[in-house]
Amino acid sequence: MKVIERTVTVLPEHLDHLNHVNNISYVKWVQDIAIKHWEINLTEEIRNLFYWVLIEHNIKYKGEAFLGDTINIKTYIKSNTAVTSIRKVEMRLQKNDKLIIDSETNWCLISTVSKKPTRITQEILDIFS
Domain assignment of residue 44, given as a range: 4-127
Q: Are 2 and 129 in contact (CB under 8 A)?
A: yes
Amino acid at 71: I
pLDDT of residue 129: 80
Q: Is the pLDDT of residue 13 over 80?
A: yes
Residues recorded for the chain = 129
pLDDT digits (tens, 9 = 90+) for 52-106: 999 999 999 999 999 999 999 999 999 999 999 999 999 999 999 999 999 999 9
The total number of structural domains that make up the chain: 1
Sign of CA dihedral 12, 71, 24, 3: positive
- Domain CATH number, residue 99: 3.10.129.10
What global pTM score does this model have?
A: 0.92
pLDDT of residue 40: 87
How far, in Å, CA of 78 to CA of 115, rounded? 25
How far, in Å, CA of 8 to CA of 34, rounded? 15
pLDDT of residue 118: 97
pLDDT of residue 127: 84
Residue 53 pairs in a beta bridge with 108
If you average pLDDT over residues 31-55, what whole number do you get? 93
> What share of the chain in percent tops pLDDT 90?
91
